[in-house]
């Protein structure tokens, strides 16, 4: 598909205070897009908005809050006159064995990553229909393949992938295009936070190549920007993820076999794995909720 110029387009990015969201906002702004930042960290959002190359503003909101996100959608339209692009990027993660997991943290991953994405789309779809715009749902390699010690994250990302594919079929005839973005381990606060746990870091390093590497953020976001410009149905932040689609049917059995071996290897150390949300974004989410 040919590229659409981003000059003068209005792009909304959730989870925009750091990581993928922050750099994506900067790169979209550098291409002339006007940017609406949404997140939980007002000081960081204000700083990000101040560094952008184009007209930008920010909104402090929890993506799981229907009332707040509906208000944000209306205010963004009032501020910029329209909305052309929405990137549902906000996300949190937790790790460790499911049987010992913190039920509140586990549920929160589902709420932010899956429910929050749906709340975001529900709020912004009316304005995207007006502009015949584009919704990009950020998923993950975790949507393509299951992984031990990541049950909440895998469930949430599989959920948003399926939800976005369903939504594409529903709204395409109204002119709204829907894409799913896939990222492997990328150098963000979330991944660095997970790597602070020795067991999680070592378990990831034992994954087969190329899924055992951490990839630089810049090239990954460049690929996402290219996908947005093309209004792509599938956006792959690392080149090899596209190939994973063709073998995904075989992966649950493979991971089931290999994962059992690795879990047995780490069994004596599993009690040390942190049960909370990981990274600075996870800490911000827990702070807002008073945990």
The residues assigned a catalytic role are 153
| Contact call for residues 29 and 56 (beta carbons, < 8 A) | yes
What is the distance, to the nearest Å, from the Cα of residue 118 to the centroid of all Cα atoms in its chain?
13
Neighbours of 15 (CB within 10 A): 29
Instruction: Indicate the burial class of 67 (C-beta count within 10 angstroms; 0-12, 13-18, 19 or more).
Output: exposed
The secondary structure of 153-181 as a DSSP string is HHHHHHHHHHHHHHHHHHHGGGT-EEEEE
Q: Which helix (H) or strand (E) holds 35?
A: strand 34-39
ω before 214 within 30° of 0 (cis)?
Answer: no
At 282, list the tokens.
């996870």
Residue 39, classed as helix, strand or coil, is strand
């Amino acid at each position: 598909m040919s590229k659409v110029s981003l000059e003068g387009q209005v792009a909304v990015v959730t989870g925009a205070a750091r990581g993928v969201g922050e750099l994506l906002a900067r790169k979209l702004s550098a291409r002339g897009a006007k940017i609406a930042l949404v997140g939980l960290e007002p000081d960081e959002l204000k700083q990000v908005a101040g560094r952008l190359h184009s007209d930008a503003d920010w909104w402090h909101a929890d993506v799981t809050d229907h009332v707040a996100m509906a208000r944000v959608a209306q205010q963004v339209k009032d501020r910029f006159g329209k909305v052309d692009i929405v990137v549902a990027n906000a996300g949190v993660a937790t790790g460790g064995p499911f049987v010992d997991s913190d039920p509140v943290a586990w549920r929160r991953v589902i709420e932010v990553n899956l429910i929050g994405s749906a709340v975001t789309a529900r709020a912004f779809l009316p304005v995207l229909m007006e502009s015949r715009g584009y919704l990009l749902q950020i998923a993950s390699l975790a949507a393509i393949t299951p992984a031990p010690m990541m049950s909440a994250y895998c469930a949430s990302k599989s959920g948003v992938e399926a939800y976005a594919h369903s939504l594409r079929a529903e709204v395409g005839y109204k002119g709204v295009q829907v894409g799913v973005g896939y990222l492997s381990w990328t150098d963000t606060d979330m991944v660095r936070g997970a790597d602070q746990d020795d067991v999680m870091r070592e378990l990831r390093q034992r994954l087969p190549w190329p899924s055992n590497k951490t990839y630089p953020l810049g090239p990954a976001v460049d690929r996402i920007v290219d996908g947005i410009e093309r209004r792509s149905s599938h956006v792959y932040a690392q080149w090899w993820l596209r190939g994973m689609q063709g073998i995904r049917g075989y992966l649950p059995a493979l991971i089931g076999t290999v994962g059992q071996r690795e879990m047995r290897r780490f069994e004596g150390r599993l009690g040390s794995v942190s049960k909370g949300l990981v990274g600075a974004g996870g800490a911000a989410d827990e702070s807002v909720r008073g945990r």
